[in-house]
Amino acid sequence: MIISIETSTSDLSLTLLKKKSVLSHISIPIKNELSEIIVPTIKMFLKDNLISFNDISFLAVGCGPGSFTGIRAIISTALGITISNSHIKSIGINSLAGLAMSAIHEAKIMKLKYIISSIDSKKDDLFLQLFRINDTKNKLLPIVEIGNIYTIKIEKLYSLFVTHNLILTKVLFVGHQSNIAKNTIENLNVSKNSTQNPDSLGVGKLASYIISNKISIKKTSYAFDKFKPIYARSAQINLK
């Protein structure tokens, strides 16, 4: 079984998966007590599902970008869990990729080929990343990132579309400031997902797909075999 955890924004969410099936999912608001509640919440979640860490094979974690405090807390906790339970393997997930994964079914129904996911940077701009939906018949990833993570104001979204030649292409937008984005780009479709924040459900589904299909994650930016924080405004992020 896989347990996935996401804390990149204002919620702590946990998902339990067996292969590609979701067994359980919870999401609770975070105030200022994340470091105090995260371990008890995980233990209670497992207890409520009548399992323990002995039943877990993989721990998948949303590694950001997003809240510095949330990312630091979850990675510290995840490292502690894997050290104490050596049989549990690690898989870190780009939270923007996890958010895009949560909207992939919706995009396919709408016959769209591209998804833009957005996370609040808490500094009057957004973390954005563009993904293309892939053909999964040959055990490829369901989504592939196009370019790096961008840090831009929502008003600059048009310039991102110009850069990637998407002005005449219909794209699904999921995440923070989706309604404002719709008013910025005429051909933009806004996800109707009830959750417009990174969630452990998307993280878990992407991790499960990678694990089930034995997809290599070496030298990639969407997943890691170690918990690697994607901090806001790190040197590799493009600033606009």
User: Is the domain of 25 the same as that of 52?
Assistant: yes
Q: What is the CATH number of the domain that holds 160?
A: 3.30.420.40
Please say which residue of 190, 210, 227 terminates a domain. Answer: 190
Domains identified in the chain, total number:
2
User: Is the domain of 101 the same as that of 183?
Assistant: yes
User: Is the domain of 21 the same as that of 90?
Assistant: yes
**Residue 112: φ, ψ to 5°:** -100, 145
User: Is the domain of 179 the same as that of 202?
Assistant: no
User: Is the domain of 52 the same as that of 84?
Assistant: yes
pLDDT tens across the length of the chain (240 residues):
999 999 988 789 999 999 889 999 999 988 777 888 899 999 999 999 999 999 999 999 999 998 888 888 999 999 999 999 999 999 999 999 999 999 999 999 999 999 999 998 888 889 999 999 987 666 678 898 988 899 999 989 999 899 899 988 989 999 988 888 888 887 799 998 766 789 999 999 999 999 998 888 887 888 998 888 887 554 444 544
User: Is the domain of 218 the same as that of 151?
Assistant: no
Please say which residue of 190, 208, 223 terminates a domain. Answer: 190
User: Is the domain of 172 the same as that of 202?
Assistant: no
User: Is the domain of 225 the same as that of 173?
Assistant: no
Threshold 0.95, pTM exceeds? no
Please say which residue of 172, 190, 208 terminates a domain. Answer: 190
User: Is the domain of 116 the same as that of 170?
Assistant: yes
Do 118 and 178 contact (CB within 8 A), yes or no?
yes
Domain range for 74 is 2-94+198-239
User: Is the domain of 88 the same as that of 202?
Assistant: yes
